[in-house]
A and B are shown apart, each in its own frame.
Chain A
C-alpha cells in the first residue's frame, strides 16, 4: 500500500461520517421554510415566463400592425428633417359638413401617402395643395405654404381637427393639413445624431449551451466517433451514352459511414475537424438472364400420320428439344472507401455549427457484378475502370450539438459529392457519387 493510500485511509477514518453536534430540529424548521418558499417562487417564475411569452407575442402583433415611420428631408433645407407618421393618415376620413366631399378627401389622402413614400417632401406640399382645392372647392379657404422657407428653425404646427368643419382660414408659417391627414412633424436639430437602435428586448441562452460553451472553452480538443446514413445519387452524365446501355437495371441505394474524428477549436467560433472515415456505398442491381439449351431427347412426338379413314398415328422417337431458362434476381454491389476528411467549421448559433471540407480517398474496394457486354454475361465491378471510387470528395455538414457531461452528442445533416475520381484511363466515362443523409456523432473533450 502506498503512502498516499495510507493518507487517504487516515482521512477517511479521521473525518467522521456523521456530524454529532447537529441540531436537527432547527435544521428541519429551516428546511420546512425553504420548501414553503420554493413553491411560490416556482409559481412566480412560471407566471413571469407566461407573461414574457404573452408580452413578446403582443409586441410582435403590435409591430406587425404598426405602420412604418419614415423620415423625409425637405429639398429646400439641408439640415431640416420632418418625421412623418402614417399612423393617423390611415384613419378613415370624418364626414364633412356642407358641400365638402369626403370621398375625394380620402382619395387624396391616400395619394398623399403614396407621394410621401415615393417622392418626398416637395410632393407632400403639392398634394396638400391639391387636396385643399378638391376638398373645399372654395376660394376663401386660403393657405400659405412656403416650402422653401422650412428650415431647421421652422416651427410647423398642425391644427387638430376634431369637428366636422374645416377652419375657414389658416395662415401659418407652416402649412395646414386636410382633416383626414394628420401630419406630426418633428424637426430634428441640425447636426443631430440618428437615433441609436435599442438593444434587443432580452437575450436568452440555454443553460446547457452555456455550460457546454464553458466546457468547450476549457478544452479545445475533442475526439469522438461518428456514424452516418444517407441516400446516394450517381452522376454519369459526363460519359459516353454507349457505355451506359444496359446499366439502367442498377439503382443507387444508400451510403453508410463510420469514422473517428478529432476536432480542434481555433477560436471562439471556428474549428477544424479531421479523422478517418469509412464509407460504404451500395447499389442494387436487378438482373435477368435467359439461357437456351438444345438437347436430343428420347420418346418425343416427332410425327403424326393421318390415315384415309381419318385415324391418326403418332410416331415417337429422338428429337432435339430447346429449353429457355430465365433467371431473375437482385444483387447488391458495394463500394467501400477509407478517407481522410478535413473540414473547417463555424458555430453559427449556440449548439449549431456548419462545416465544409474535402475528403481524400486512401483505399477503396468494390464487390459485385454488372451486366456484361454479351447477354447472360457478368463483369465484376472491380474490373470496371469507371468505378474506382472518389479520389477527392467534397463534404458539407450542419450539426446540432447536445451537450453531455464531458462531451457532446451531435446530430446533423451531411452531404458529400465526388469531385475527382481515380477512374482508369481506358474507362469511357466516370461515375461521381453523391450522398445526402443524417449523421450522429459523439465527441469527448480532451485535455
Chain B
C-alpha cells in the first residue's frame, strides 16, 4: 500500500466509510499489535491495547496532517501514547528488587543469543514492572532520547537511564536463566 493509497483510504475514513476503516485496520493492525504486545503485561491485555489504539486513531483521524509526516508514523505515535496512557491507569506495581539478581550478563554469549526465540524475549519484557517496561520500550524500540522519555513519563533523565540499564540487566538474566529449561509450548 503506497502512501497515496493510504491517504486516499484515510480520506474515506474521514467520510465515515466503514470499508475504508477496515482496510486501514487490516493493513496496520499487525504492526500495532506487535507494539501492544511489548507494552501489555499479557496477551489478553495486548488485544485490549490494540483496540484502544485503533479507537484513539479513528477518533483523532481528523487531526492527522499529511504535511507533517507519513500516516504510518503518526498512527504509530498515537498508538505508543495510547499504550502509555493505558499503562498509567494500571495499578502501581511494586518496584523490582535487583539486589538479589546475580549478575550473569557476561555469561550471555552470541551462541546463546542465536537460540533465543522471540517469544522468550517478549516474555522477559512482560516480566518487567510497568515503569521499567515503558522506559525500555521507548528507549530500545521507539529509540526515544532519555530527555523525551523523562518528559513523557514524568521522571528525571537519570531515572530513565538507570531504569533502562536495570531493565536490560534483568532481561539478560531472565534470558540466561530461561535458556536451559525453555519450553516453547509453555509460553504460547
Interface residues on B, range: 35 or more
Give the distance in Å from the alpha carbon of A104 to the alpha carbon of B121 in the complex.
93
Does A19 count as interface, using CB distance less than 8 angstroms? yes
Chain A residues numbered 34-49 whose CB sits less than 8 Å from any CB in chain B: 34-35, 38
Does B172 count as interface, using CB distance less than 8 angstroms? yes
Pair A406/B29 contact, Cβ less than 8 Å: no
Give the distance in Å from the alpha carbon of A27 to the alpha carbon of B29 in the complex.
9
Q: Is the interface of B mostly helix, strand, loop or mixed?
A: helix
Pair A15/B168 contact, Cβ less than 8 Å: no
Q: Which of A12, A19, A211, A406 has the largest number of chain B CB atoms within 10 A?
A: A19
Does B103 count as interface, using CB distance less than 8 angstroms? no
Residues in chain A near residue B165, CB distance under 8 A: 4
Chain B nearest CB from A399 CB (Å) reads: 20
Pick the residue among B34, B50, B122, B151 that contacts A406 (CB under 8 A): B151
Give the distance in Å from the alpha carbon of A38 to the alpha carbon of B122 in the complex.
31
Question: Which of B4-12, B51-59, B63-71, B176-184 contacts its partner?
Answer: B51-59
Pair A18/B54 contact, Cβ less than 8 Å: no
Give the distance in Å from the alpha carbon of A40 to the alpha carbon of B156 in the complex.
40
Interface residues on A, range: 20 to 34
Does A24 count as interface, using CB distance less than 8 angstroms? yes
Give the distance in Å from the alpha carbon of A393 to the alpha carbon of B127 in the complex.
55
Pair A445/B30 contact, Cβ less than 8 Å: no
Give the distance in Å from the alpha carbon of A4 to the alpha carbon of B165 in the complex.
8
Pick the residue among A8, A12, A18, A31 that contacts B25 (CB under 8 A): A31
Pair B151/A405 contact, Cβ less than 8 Å: yes
Residues in chain A near residue B55, CB distance under 8 A: 31, 34-35, 38
- Whose C-beta in chain A lies nearest to the C-beta of B117? A14
Does B118 count as interface, using CB distance less than 8 angstroms? yes
Residues in chain B near residue A7, CB distance under 8 A: 168, 172
Chain A nearest CB from B135 CB (Å) reads: 13
Residues in chain A near residue B22, CB distance under 8 A: 28
Chain A residues numbered 210-252 whose CB sits less than 8 Å from any CB in chain B: 211, 215, 218-219
Does B154 count as interface, using CB distance less than 8 angstroms? yes
Chain A residues numbered 369-409 whose CB sits less than 8 Å from any CB in chain B: 405-406
Contact with A along B46-88 (1 / 0, CB 8 A): 0100110011001000000000000000000000000000001
10 tightest Cβ-Cβ pairs between the two chains A and B: A447-B156, A18-B30, A19-B33, A406-B154, A19-B34, A24-B26, A34-B51, A19-B30, A8-B140, A22-B30
Knowing that A4-B165, A7-B168, A12-B141 touch, tell me 20 more A-B residue pairs with CB under 8 angstroms.
A11-B121, A11-B141, A12-B140, A14-B116, A14-B121, A15-B38, A15-B118, A18-B31, A19-B31, A22-B30, A27-B25, A27-B50, A34-B51, A35-B55, A215-B154, A406-B151, A406-B155, A446-B156, A447-B156, A447-B158
